[in-house]
Structure 1
């Protein structure tokens, strides 16, 4: 089965000379349909860099990033933007919501930008908000909602429409334990339905929802497990 996301020998270097930082070093990585992959590692290990490259928000210094067989570098800025509106859902750590738009309008925006009618986009947005448990708050603005509710809006925006790749950077960071588990179950269900998911997390109990765990350190993949990921990570002495 062809992967939805593929990184082939990807490196990302920031700065140059004395300030040069190797965020990723020749990382090869793939996520397939139906698969949820957890990415773990200490701060500064390259986890968030991997996600920004996978979502076409940044470009690798070397190597290739492909989504559904398309090399993101060859698509140009407009092509990458279109892919983010249609195929890639991204849950940011800081939510990236637009304060002047309601919850439903924030979620509907990618669909409307891609040409969907306002009515169709809002209907899909309200369905996504129902799915994350805040359908009754669709008219509220982000600054009228708690951090956890804002996080749910961000997740609804990432799953609205037919997203084939869902990228989540600490998707349960602003949520209580029970709500976090509900969101992880939702991501798991989306992958079981055929999407590919990549989730950055510091929590071993969250990684337990994944089919596979990839562990990064200093921009390099140092471990990978697919059978009992949490047990393997803890047994090998990796931090949570």
Structure 2
């Protein structure tokens, strides 16, 4: 397997440097991740695959600064998150990282546009400008009509697309997505992946967890986790579908 920076002349947006994560102690100790070394570069979409319990979601939470590694370092644009205070980490997450959660994490009392605009307002953008950006993000995903609708008045698929719009608003250099098409029909899911792909082609970096080989085929690279370890990765978007099949067969585990 190649090293994360092999053949690259630019710095990664995200670098997981020998990262490990242990939960619990003693007999209850669980190694969620073990010595993972992974870099994601500007313009690159990386898909993460693996069986249940392989550490995929843990990988995303560490990459987004929502949890801290037990060992190793997480660097975003060269900054070690472990060297920052909680306040500074939160600032990095708001300004540089867009995160799509499996359970959406929308605030029920806020409209779609207000949910999306909130991170920008927290960073000092005016309410009017933040709303313009929010509406533009909704329109990019084909749901501009939801701007003034509350989450409880949306379907699961609509909430998912609002959550994706929130992750894409502003100048997010890193987008992390945990099953971003899970609540969407196949046609809508493909359109969302096209938007994510376009953001990467424009210079952002993205990493998404997926079960679907056809979704992983949108990626430039597919990495495979098993028992918390990075066990394989493809290096070409054109070959992704074949590599997904081959590597999945080699890391079979319990279904998710």
| TM-score scaled by length of structure 2 | 0.92
Distance in structure 2 (CA, Å) of the matches to 1:101 and 1:66:
32
Counterpart in the other structure of 2:160: 151
Q: Write the deviation string for residues 114-166 of structure 1: whole angstroms up to 9, x where unpaired.
A: 11110010010000010111101100000000000000000000000000000
Task: State the match for 1:170 in structure 2.
Answer: 179
CA distance, structure 2, for counterparts of residue 64 and residue 156 of structure 1: 29
Which stretch shows the higher mean deviation, 143-152 or 219-228?
A: 219-228
SS in 1 for 2:19: strand
Other structure's SS at 1:11 match: strand
CA distance in 1, matches of 2:72, 2:240: 27
Give secondary structure in 2 for the equivalent of 1:112. helix
Q: SS of 1:148's equivalent?
A: helix
Deviation of residue 84 (structure 1)? 1.2
Distance in 2 of aligned mates of 1:106 and 1:131:
16
Deviation at 1:229, TM superposition (A): 2.1
Which residue does the alignment assign to 1:92? 101
- The residue number in structure 2 matching 1:231 is 242
SS in 2 for 1:27: strand
Q: 1:23 aligns with which of 20, 32, 44?
A: 32
Deviation by residue 1:5-47 (Cα, 9 ceiling, x = unmatched): 0001000000010000000000000000000000000111000
Separation in structure 1 between the aligned mates of residue 13 and residue 245 of structure 2, nearest angstrom:
29
Alpha-carbon separation, structure 1, partners of 2:78 and 2:172: 15
Secondary structure of the corresponding residue to residue 63 of structure 1 = strand
TM-score normalised according to structure 1 size: 0.98
Aligned to 1:59: 68
Match of residue 85 from structure 2: 76
- Structure 1: which 5+ residue stretches go unaligned? none
Extract unaligned runs of 5+ from structure 2: 1-9
Equivalent residue for 1:6? 15
- Show the counterpart of 2:133: 124
**3-state DSSP of counterpart to 2:84:** helix
Structure 1 Cα separation of the partners of residues 195 and 244 of structure 2: 24
Q: CA RMSD in A?
A: 1.0
Does residue 179 (structure 1) correspond to residue 188 (structure 2)? The answer is yes
Report how many residues are paired: 240
- Whole-angstrom distance in 2 between the partners of 1:96 and 1:232: 33
Q: Which runs of 4+ in 1 moved over 2 A?
A: none
2:197 is aligned to: 188
| Partner in structure 1 of residue 147 of structure 2 | 138
1:177-216 superposed matches below 5 A: 177-216=186-225
Deviation per CA, 1:46-102: give whole Å up to 9, x if none: 000000000000000000000000001111111111111111000000000000000
